[in-house]
Amino acid sequence: MRRSVLSNFCLLLAVSLIVLTGYGGASSAPSPVEIRVGLLFPLTGAFGFLGTEQHRGAKMALDMVNAKGGVLGTKIQMITADSKSDPQIAASETQRLIDQNQVPIILGSYASALSTSASTIAERNRVVFWEVGAVANELTQRGYKYFFRSVGNATTYAEADVDFLSRVVAPALKKPLQAIRVAVVHENGPFGTSVADSLVKLLDKQGIKPVSRESYPANATDLTSLVLKLKAARPDVVFLTPLVADALLFWQTAQDQDFNVPVLVGSAGISSPAFQERFGNRGVEGVFDVEPPSAAGLNPRGLDPSVAEALRSFLVTYAKEYNRAALIHAGLGFNGAWIVATDVLPRAVRASGGKLTPDVIRQAALATDINDKDSILGYGVKFAPNGDDERGKAFIMQWRNGNLVVVWPEALARMTPVVPMPTWDQRR
Partner 1 sequence: MFVQTVLSGLVLGGVYALVAAGLSLIFGVMRLINFAHGQFLMLGMYMAYWLHVLFGWNVYATGLVVVPAMFALGWATQVLLIRPIRGSNPSAYLLTTFGLALALENLAAIAWTRDPRAVSLRYGRLVLGDIRLTTPGLVALLGSAVAIAALYAFLRYTRLGTAVRATAQNPISAELAGIDIKLINALTFAVGTALVGIAAVLLVPTYYVFPEVGHIFTIIAFLVTVLGGLGNVGGSLLAGLLIGVFEGISGTYISVELARAITFGIFIAILFLRPTGLFGQQARV
- Give residues in contact with partner 1 (CB under 8 A): 44-46, 48-49, 84-85, 188, 214-217, 220-226, 228-229, 231-232, 245, 248-249, 252, 256-258, 278
Give min distance, CB of 278 to partner 1, in A: 5
Tell me the DSSP string of 366-394.
HT--B-GGGSTTS--B-B-TTS-BTT---
Give min distance, CB of 245 to partner 1, in A: 5
In this complex, which beta carbon is closest to partner 1, that of residue 199 or of residue 356?
199
In this complex, which beta carbon is closest to partner 1, that of residue 252 or of residue 363?
252
In this complex, which beta carbon is closest to partner 1, that of residue 279 or of residue 383?
279
Of the CA atoms within 13 Å of residue 118, those in its CB half-sphere come to: 37
Q: Distance (Å, rounded) from C-alpha 234 to C-alpha 246? A: 21
CA-to-CA separations, 90 to 81, 107, 250, 386, in angstroms, rounded: 9, 12, 27, 22
In this complex, which beta carbon is closest to partner 1, that of residue 146 or of residue 279?
279
Give min distance, CB of 274 to partner 1, in A: 10
Of 151, 205, 196, nearest to 177 by C-alpha is: 205
Give min distance, CB of 334 to partner 1, in A: 23
CA dihedral (162, 109, 61, 141) in degrees, to 10, reads: 60
Q: Distance (Å, rounded) from C-alpha 307 to C-alpha 220? A: 42
In this complex, which beta carbon is closest to partner 1, that of residue 98 or of residue 247?
247
Give min distance, CB of 428 to partner 1, in A: 10
CA-to-CA separations, 416 to 161, 163, 419, 427, in angstroms, rounded: 16, 15, 10, 20
In this complex, which beta carbon is closest to partner 1, that of residue 43 or of residue 182?
43
In this complex, which beta carbon is closest to partner 1, that of residue 215 or of residue 363?
215
Give min distance, CB of 402 to partner 1, in A: 16
Instruction: For residue 391, give every residue at least 6 positions away whose Cβ sits within 8 Å of its Cβ, in sequence order, or none.
Output: 152, 370, 371, 372, 375, 379, 380, 381, 382
Of 320, 307, 324, nearest to 404 by C-alpha is: 324
Do 93 and 40 form a contact (C-beta atoms < 8 A)?
yes
Give min distance, CB of 197 to partner 1, in A: 15
Give min distance, CB of 317 to partner 1, in A: 25
Pairing of strands 212-216, 105-108: unpaired
In this complex, which beta carbon is closest to partner 1, that of residue 139 or of residue 230?
230
Q: What is the DSSP letter of 113?
A: H
